[in-house]
C-alpha cells in the first residue's frame, strides 16, 4: 500500500511517498476505507514550514480531510456497509459537547496519521455519509473548511436572515462562509485583492466587495457599508495581520470569530478597539454534529464546493507547492484512487 509521510518538518521537500506500508485491517467498531480524495488546508503546509502554532511530530501521514468508499467493516459496525461513501471528521474523537482539552493530541497529520494514503481504518463514529449529489473530490473539501465556516456562522447565536457577515479573501473557509451565509439569507461583505476574485465572490453571493489593497482601512469601509452600525459576524482567517481591521468592522453587539493565521505580520491591536465588539470567539473546526449539520445545509442549499485544482496522487508534492504559492481560489484536492 502507498502512503505519503513527512519524514521531517523542515520544508515541503520532506514529503515522501512510501510504497510498502502495511495493509490496515478493521477491528471491532472500525471501518476499512478506500480513500478516494483528500483536500489540503493551510495547516498542512504550516506544519512542515514551521509556522504552525502548536507542537507537531514528524513522520506522520499528512492531511486531515478525506472522502472515501467503505471496503469492509469490523465486528459490531452497524452504521455503514461496504460500498457506502463517507467523509471523515476533522476531530475523530470530538463527537459532541465541550471541546476536549486534549483535542490537538488527536489531530491528523500532527500526532496521528492523516488521509494521504490509499487505504485507512477509522472508527465508525469518525466518518459520516457523503450525500449522493457530491463527488468524492467535493466531499473531501467539507471536513475542515466547510465545517469551520458553519461553526463560525451557526453559534452560539446563529446568523439569521438580514444579519451582515464579513469574510476575508477567497480561501476555502472564506468561500464556504460566503456560500453558507448567503443560503441563510445574510448580507455579505467580502474582502479580496483583485477584481477577478471580486467577481467570483459576487457570483457566490457577496453583496459588497472591498479590495483591501486599495482600501487599507477596510474595517472602517465595511462598517460604513452597514450605515455605521458594524457587521454582525466577522469570519476572521487572517489572524495577526487582519484582527485590528476586523475589530473596527464589528458592531458593538457583533462577534469576531477567530479561525486562521494566514497573515503573520502583526500591525498590533489598539486596546480601545476591544471595547467596540461584544464577543471574540475562537473555533477549532467543530464536533461531529457540526459536520453533520454543515453537510445537510450544503446538500439542501445545493452548494457546490469551489475547487481550484485537482492533482493526481503521484503529483501530491505539486499540490502542496500549489497551495503554498497562495494563488489558489477555493480548495486544492488530491485524488487518491
Distance (Å, rounded) from C-alpha 143 to C-alpha 136?
Answer: 12
85 forms beta bridges with 69
CB atoms within 10 A of CB 72: 16
Instruction: Select from 208, 204, 147 the least CA-distant residue to 178.
Output: 204
Q: What are phi and psi of 50, to 5 degrees?
A: 80, 20
DSSP one-letter code for 319: H
Quick: pLDDT tens for 25-72: 999 999 999 999 999 999 999 999 998 988 999 999 999 999 999 999
% of the chain exceeding 90 in pLDDT: 87
What pLDDT does 274 receive? Answer: 66
Mean pLDDT of 283-299: 97
pLDDT computed for residue 239 by the predictor: 87
Q: DSSP readout, 202-246?
A: HHHT-SEEEETTT-S-HHHHHHHHTTTS-EEEEEE-SGGGTHHHH
Q: For residue range 78-129, what is the model confidence (pLDDT) as tens digits?
A: 999 999 999 999 999 999 999 998 888 888 999 999 999 999 999 999 999 9
Task: List, for residues 153-206, the tens digit of each pLDDT value.
Answer: 998 999 999 999 999 999 999 999 999 999 999 999 999 999 999 999 999 999
Residue with cell 445545509: 297
CA distance to 26, 72, 109, per residue, from 33 (Å): 9, 7, 18
Contact 109, 23 (CB under 8 A): no
Where residue 266 falls among pLDDT bands split at 50, 70, 90?
low
Phi, psi of 166 (to 5 degrees): -110, 130
pLDDT of residue 240: 87
For the record, the C-alpha cell of 28 comes out as 471491532
Amino acid at each position: 500500500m502507498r502512503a505519503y509521510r513527512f519524514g521531517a518538518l523542515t520544508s515541503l521537500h520532506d514529503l515522501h511517498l512510501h510504497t510498502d506500508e502495511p495493509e490496515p485491517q478493521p477491528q471491532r467498531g472500525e471501518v476499512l476505507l478506500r480513500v478516494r480524495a483528500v483536500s489540503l488546508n493551510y495547516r498542512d503546509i504550516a506544519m512542515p514550514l514551521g509556522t504552525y502554532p502548536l507542537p507537531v511530530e514528524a513522520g506522520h501521514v499528512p492531511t486531515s480531510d478525506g472522502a472515501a468508499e467503505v471496503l469492509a467493516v469490523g465486528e459490531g459496525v452497524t452504521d455503514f456497509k461496504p460500498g457506502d461513501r463517507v467523509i471523515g471528521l476533522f476531530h475523530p474523537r470530538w463527537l459532541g459537547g465541550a471541546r476536549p482539552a486534549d483535542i490537538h493530541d488527536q489531530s491528523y497529520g500532527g500526532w496521528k496519521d492523516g488521509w494521504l494514503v490509499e487505504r485507512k481504518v477509522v472508527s465508525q463514529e469518525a466518518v459520516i455519509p457523503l450525500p449522493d449529489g457530491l463527488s468524492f473530490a467535493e466531499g473531501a473539501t467539507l471536513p475542515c473548511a466547510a465545517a469551520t465556516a458553519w461553526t463560525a456562522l451557526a453559534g452560539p447565536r446563529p446568523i439569521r436572515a438580514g444579519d451582515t457577515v464579513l469574510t476575508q479573501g477567497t480561501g476555502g473557509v472564506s468561500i464556504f462562509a460566503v456560500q453558507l451565509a448567503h443560503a441563510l439569507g445574510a448580507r455579505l461583505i467580502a474582502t479580496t485583492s483583485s477584481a477577478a476574485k471580486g467577481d467570483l465572490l459576487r457570483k457566490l453571493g457577496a453583496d459588497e466587495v472591498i479590495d483591501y489593497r486599495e482600501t487599507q482601512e477596510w474595517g472602517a469601509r465595511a462598517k460604513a457599508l452597514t450605515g455605521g452600525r458594524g457587521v454582525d459576524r466577522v469570519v476572521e482567517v487572517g489572524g495577526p495581520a487582519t484582527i485590528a481591521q476586523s475589530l473596527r468592522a464589528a458592531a458593538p453587539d457583533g462577534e469576531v470569530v477567530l479561525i486562521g493565521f494566514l497573515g503573520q505580520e502583526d500591525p498590533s491591536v489598539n486596546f480601545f478597539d476591544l471595547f467596540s465588539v461584544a464577543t471574540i470567539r475562537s473555533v477549532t473546526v467543530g464536533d461531529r454534529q457540526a459536520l453533520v449539520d454543515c453537510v445537510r445545509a450544503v446538500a439542501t442549499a445545493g452548494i457546490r464546493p469551489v475547487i481550484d485544482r485537482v492533482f493526481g496522487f503521484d503529483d501530491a508534492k505539486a499540490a502542496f507547492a500549489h497551495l503554498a504559492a497562495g494563488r489558489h481560489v477555493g480548495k486544492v484536492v488530491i485524488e487518491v484512487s
